[in-house]
Amino acid sequence: MKQITSKQIAFLGVVSALMFVFLLIETYLLTIAFGALTPAILTLPFAVALSLFLGKKGMFLGGTIFGTCSFFLACCIANPVFINPLISILPRILIGVVAYFAFVLSQKLFKNEVVAYSIGGVFGILTNTVCTIFMLWVFNYSNLAAVFSTIMSINFVGELVGAIILVPVYSKVLKKVSGRL
């Protein structure tokens, strides 16, 4: 079994902090501009790009970091729904897994890395939306699930555009930064 290096731990710490900052920006600054309908245009693409960057062995980490940051923020601001880790973390673990396999398949089909990153991003965003709404339904937030379904369907368009544009950009930056480690 390969040992995790201190540089890898530091890298994961830095990207975790960056994820939390993106989440704070979306939660507070973008809420001022967009109100309650704030799309996750920074965090979701970053979670997908991180999962794709980490590859097969780390594909679950991007979503897990995003979910953990979301859970922690929900605890800080007393958001009763996302305090439940099965709603805030579990669906997000799947983001990277689905995005990774969509990326690998589309890379084989299209032979274009940028297109493959974008397609992986689309599938990651779709996974987040569907799984989060499903978990709201499972935990009997049916009225809230209907509200979130409406909000997420509106946000879904912005998040898709963000994924198509930002996942390739974030992935390129992560490759460049990691080359210096």
pLDDT at residue number 13: 92
Q: In this structure, are residues 127 and 99 in contact, taking their beta carbons and an 8 Å threshold? A: yes
Check pLDDT > 70 for residue 129.
yes
Residue 45, token pair as written in the block: 């693409």
Write out pLDDT tens, residues 30-72: 767 666 567 788 888 999 999 999 999 889 999 999 999 999 9
Residue 52, token pair as written in the block: 């794709």
104 versus 58: which is more confidently predicted? Answer: 104
Q: Please report, for the chain, the start and end positions of each structural domain, with discontinuous segments joined by +.
A: 6-178
Give the up-direction half-sphere exposure of residue 81: CA atoms within 13 A in the CB hemisphere: 15
Q: What mean pLDDT, rounded, does the chain reach?
A: 86
**CATH node for 6-178:** 1.10.1760.20
- Work out the angle at residue 97's Cα, subtended by the Cα atoms of residues 154 and 164, and round it to the nearest 5 degrees: 45
State residue 78 phi and psi, 5-degree precision: 60, 50
Strand, coil or helix: 18: helix
Write out pLDDT tens, residues 131-157: 887 887 788 776 666 666 666 677 788
Q: Binning pLDDT at 50, 70 and 90, where does residue 82 land?
A: confident
